[in-house]
Amino acid sequence: MPPRKKPVSDGSVSLNKHISDTGFCSRREADDYILQGRVTINDELAVPGNRVYEGDVVELDGEPLVKKVKPFYIAFNKPKGVTSTTDEKDKTNIIAYINHPKRIFPIGRLDKDSEGLIFLTNDGNIVNKILRAGNNHEKEYIVATEQPITPEFIQSMSAGVRIPDGKTKPCKVKQEAKNMFRITLTQGLNRQIRKMAGALDYRVVKLKRVRIMNVHLGNLPVGHWRYLTDEEVKGLLELTAQSNATEVASRQRAPRPKSADKKPGGSQAAETKAAPKKKATPTKAAAPAREEKPKAKKGTYKDYRRKK
């Protein structure tokens, strides 16, 4: 039996692993790129078996390889007085308060006078998917008011209230105590709940967000944060899988009026046509077998980076 290779303990990694860790391709495909002479280390042509050390510059097709950053998601119980902004000029900004070692940013806002659940992440792809009103993602709040809650107030809030931003969408509202109610919104208008209550001559004295989609605040102490669990992240990604990440999702499209004189055959009644059949061509004799070359992935690494 051949002797086992001793593990390398100098902090280096194999070149094919370094390439695959970027998310661009598998180790086997990375080996193909190395054999094709498309990979360099510190401007020197790489060969199979090379290792990559800290500080080395690895390029594929002349483009520096960028290691894929694993996304993470934070649930933070924001205290009253902390501002949901990344602006360093604001001394009460949420980033300075959390002081996370990695670069993060909040998903959405929770006004300075409110407290409760807010997400922070390094994943820019998910932000708009959660924020766009057209995606109808639920956010749940517990609200205390100066005035006692009445059935009329619950009914009016549930049906939608006329505020300066327009009439709010219907929502779920339930009385929790004499001066407290629970509300679930699918909108994210600025200071929406306070404006809704104010339009009905109610004054909000405390507002706390307790849930965003599938993630609950639970017993997380005020001013503390935690990473979302694998189960929570899975649920979050599933709920946003079909979400529109563009501004289109936040627009409510009005139904198009049907035109009485619309003729069939237009864009409203497009027919699918079968592709014309190709004539059969005589088969040729099989060519002699050639030496198999390493398979190449279509496109270059530059194309891959541009798509990302």
Q: Which superfamily is assigned to 73-248 in CATH? A: Pseudouridine synthase (3.30.2350.10)
> Where are the CATH 3.10.290.10 domain residues in the chain?
13-64
Listed residue (164, 162, 203, 155) closest to 183, CA to CA: 155
Mean pLDDT computed over 189-209: 96
Q: Name the most confidently modeled range: 236-240, 285-289, 298-302.
A: 236-240
pLDDT digits (tens, 9 = 90+) for 93-130: 999 999 999 889 999 889 999 999 999 998 877 877 77
Name the CA dihedral angle for 108, 109, 115, 121, rounded to a multiple of 10 degrees: 40
Greater confidence, 48 or 268? 48
pLDDT digits (tens, 9 = 90+) for 14-50: 999 898 887 778 888 899 999 999 999 999 999 999 9
CATH assignment of 13-64, among 3.90.650.10, 2.60.120.620, 3.10.290.10, 3.40.640.10: 3.10.290.10
Greater confidence, 135 or 164? 164
Q: What pLDDT is stored for residue 103 in this prediction? A: 86
Residue 250 has pLDDT above 50, yes or no: no
Q: What pLDDT is stored for residue 40 in this prediction? A: 96
Q: Give the percent of the chain with pLDDT over 70.
A: 74
Q: What pLDDT is stored for residue 22 in this prediction? A: 79
Q: What pLDDT is stored for residue 21 in this prediction? A: 81
Any residues with CB less than 8 A from the CB of 113 and at least 6 apart, and which? 80, 207
Count of C-beta atoms within a 10 Å radius of residue 106: 22
pLDDT digits (tens, 9 = 90+) for 54-92: 889 999 999 998 877 788 999 999 999 999 999 989 999
- pTM attached to this predicted model: 0.64
Q: What pLDDT is stored for residue 279 in this prediction? A: 44
Q: What pLDDT is stored for residue 136 in this prediction? A: 78
Which residues are tagged catalytic?
A: 111
Any residues with CB less than 8 A from the CB of 74 and at least 6 apart, and which? 98, 100, 104, 119, 120, 121, 225, 226, 227, 228
> Where are the CATH 3.30.2350.10 domain residues in the chain?
73-248
Mean pLDDT computed over 199-208: 98
Compute the distance between CA of residue 22 and CA of residue 228 in angstroms, rounded to an integer: 24
